[in-house]
Amino acid sequence: YDTYSVIINSSKDLDNISKIGAIIDHYHNGNEVHILATKSQYKTILNSNVNIKKIDNKARQYYLELIEETRDSDNPMRDYHNYNELTEFLQNIASNYPSITNLTSIGQSVQGRELWVLEISDNPGVNEFEPEFRYIANMHGDETVGRELSVYLIDWLCSNYGLSDRATDLVNNTSIHIMPSMNPDGFELGQRNNANDVDLNRDFPDQFQDPNNFVNGRQPETRAVMEWSNQHNFVLSANMHTGALVVNYPFDGPNSGSYSACPDDDLFVDLALTYSENHQDMYTESPFSQGITNGAQWYALFGGLQDWSYLWTKAFDVTLEQNEVKWPNQNLLPGLWDENKEAMISYIERVHGPSVRGQVIDANSGLPILCSIIVEGNENVISNDAQNGDYYRLLTPNTYQITFNSIGYESQTQSITIGDSAVILNIQLVIDESLSLANIENFESQSFNSYNWQFSGNEDWQIDSISAEGLYSARSGNIGNNQLSEISVSIFNSEPSQISFYKKVSCENVGSQSGNYYDYLAFYIDGVEQEKWAGEIDWSFSTFPLSSGEHNLKWAFIKDQGVSSGQDATWIDFIVMPGNPSDFCDISSDGELNIIDVV
């Protein structure tokens, strides 16, 4: 990739640059944007009558100067830490502060360098009853400020533990995870991308262009971060960049220049302001109002870390652009720490700010149970920690209706008013006794033999190991364009009742907002469509009323003639049928299961 300056006329030009695969690298306002492009991409832009010219890569130039000036020095790169120095620093910290640190490698880079993560906590390595926080830096190898600020922050937290109330409180009450360099190869090579020349902040699953939350096909650095994140319940997070002075928050797509609000938009504005207001210059000196911006309104990108973190791991993640110069002179680093120190510490502290938190347990046994926490009017559903049962739902000051759902338990809804601090709300869920006499199909038999399931369409449904509860569920058949996969069952209930089930959807999301669906899961009662779902929907519960008498229940996954997206599949599980197990198949109501029922 070479660096170019492009004069744009509208936000559509930004989208066109992204569509051809060029990387938008630096864009504040006005009409000039800096991009990274291959020679063929450069020619494509040039042929579209856009003003484009090659410019110097100043970060690369300074990197080469440092390498040359310190070639025979015992202090390579001066105040910057190269890979060996960073490794030595982290190992020394872990050795000097063993009671509050845990140094691990979550994987290796393309060239075999360790991807170091340092946990700082009063019980490191232990899944405690406290929120988990994450900082990731240097995912772009030539954006170096965050890498060094991570070193300063680690030193401040460890050296002040037991001496400063602020540092001590943070370490005692938070599990802080810091990854100083996600792209150590890029740093050593003096380039933005990793050693495979891939931009790591375009390599994550993306809701608009790549909604497959799979690690397969990702770069080793991306895979490591995804797997590490999935092993934790990070509540709050940020990834550190340079090239601007602003906090960028979700969503990052789909269209440049258009505000793309996520369900927690008000919270993300609050989180972004937490950083910018505590920065020495960002709030007042940034070219962006208040030092913050919505990602897509700035410029659209796809495959970014912050959107992936929010959508698939439920961590509230923002992108920190901490300095306008990518690779500033090494003698400026202490001053940059002074500018960012209060903001970096305050941002961690926000995990203990306005929120609701507590533990969800079984009312009878007192044991933790896995639970979905749903804020009324907000489609972003989080889960608690499966081991401890603790949850942390960041919010802005207001009054909320919050529902706690767990399979096999009665739902519980609480009204809670959030002020300027965290509100403790412990929940005891009671087993739903009605389920003890219910007809439940959860496919744990690993077959469709428990009930008289019927299949139609192009491909039969199948048993799958992805489940809402237990080990198994039913998954739609592997169909192509203009095909469908249907599963149905006939039931009889002697009095008005209801049908309930969990469903999961992963397909093209067109229609999830407009109602004009292309690919979708639909549910029918007696051939009448009750509801349908599209896009990426994790396990969620649905209930529909049933009148007395015979009914046919049908679930259909339907694809149109065009786009394939996500896993192109749907699942159902834990279906609570009407009636009692003893009379479910007694269609003739004669008290016996016999040939009459079969007929």
Q: Is 290 helix (H, G, I), strand (E, B) or coil?
A: helix
Angle at 293 between CA 289 and CA 296, to 5 degrees: 140
Cβ burial, residue 325 (10 Å; 0-12/13-18/19+) = middle
Angle at 102 between CA 99 and CA 107, to 5 degrees: 170
- Measured CA to CA, the distance from residue 321 to residue 247 in angstroms comes to 6
Q: Is 360 helix (H, G, I), strand (E, B) or coil?
A: strand
Cβ(208)–Cβ(15) below 8 Å = no
Residue 366 has a CB neighbour count (10 Å cut-off) of: 9
Distance spanning both ends of the chain, measured CA to CA: 71
Task: With both helix axes pointing from N to C terminus, report the angle between 333-349 and 165-173 in degrees, rounded to the nearest 10.
Answer: 50
Nearest to 122 by CA among 85, 157, 75, 71: 157
Preceding amide of 251 cis, omega within 30 = yes
Residue-wise burial string across 556-593, b where 16 or more C-beta atoms lie within 10 A, e elsewhere: bbbbeeeeebbbbbbbbbbbbbbbeeeebbbbeeeeee
Residue type, 532: K
- Measured CA to CA, the distance from residue 459 to residue 436 in angstroms comes to 34
- Per DSSP bridges, beta strands 51-54 and 412-418 are unpaired
- Measured CA to CA, the distance from residue 183 to residue 326 in angstroms comes to 15
- Catalytic positions, written as ranges: 321
- For the residues of 179-221, what is the DSSP string, one character each? ES-S-HHHHHHTSSS-TTS--GGG-S-BTTTB-----TTS-HH
Residue 97 has a CB neighbour count (10 Å cut-off) of: 18
- Measured CA to CA, the distance from residue 268 to residue 396 in angstroms comes to 9
- Measured CA to CA, the distance from residue 488 to residue 537 in angstroms comes to 22
